[in-house]
Amino acid sequence: MLTLGRWSLQLAQGWEAELEEGCVCASHPEGFGVLLISHAERAKNPVAREELHQLASAELPGSADVGECRMGDFEGLHATYVEDGERWHRFYLCFGTVLLLVTYTVELAHDGVEDDEVIGMLRSLRAIGNRWE
């Protein structure tokens, strides 16, 4: 279990994580894609759904397929699109004052190979504390 600040994630078997300030990079040494999780926390005021929509609309190409999602304790948006020969999955997730921006990229030739592992990890996301801390 990987725990950072007010959130945790169960890494899939064989996956490894490198930590940098504000970001986690996870991948499988023999795998194909890279999972990046950027995280931030506010001192007050929960992250609003409108803010997630604003972030997504500022970053995503017009071709992105966007929808609502829930991953573990976190809820927000999921988007997927193809760009430069890669499949991109973007998640804009929040739990109270905690914001997670998640990106998984993989070459199109390997699209779908690690989906079960990636979705399993994201479904394991847990918030630590309550929404209003």
pLDDT in tens, 71-98: 999 999 999 999 999 999 999 999 999 9
What is the fold of 2-127? Protein Transport Mog1p; Chain A (3.40.1000)
Interacting residues of 115 by C-beta distance below 8 A, sequence separation 6+:
none
Mean pLDDT value across residues 18-43: 93
Give the residue from 98, 38, 91 showing the smallest Cα distance to 67. 91
Task: Share the mean pLDDT of the chain.
Answer: 95
* Distance, CA of 33 to chain centre: 13
Q: Domain coordinates of the chain in residue numbers?
A: 2-127
**On the CB side of 16, how many CA atoms lie within 13 Å of its CA?**
6
Q: Please determine, for residue 6, whether its predicted confidence score (pLDDT) is greater than 70.
A: yes
Q: Please determine, for residue 5, whether its predicted confidence score (pLDDT) is greater than 90.
A: no
Give the residue from 101, 96, 118, 103 showing the smallest Cα distance to 31. 118
What was the pLDDT predicted at 20? 86
Find residue 39's DSSP bridge partners.
100
Mean pLDDT value across residues 111-119: 97
Please report which confidence band the pLDDT of residue 133 belongs to, taking 50, 70 and 90 as the band edges: low
What was the pLDDT predicted at 42? 87
Mean pLDDT value across residues 13-30: 94
d(CA 27, CA 11): 9
Phi, psi for 25 (deg, rounded to 5): -115, 115
Please report which confidence band the pLDDT of residue 22 belongs to, taking 50, 70 and 90 as the band edges: confident
The full DSSP string for 50-68 is HHHHHHHHHHS-TT-EEEE
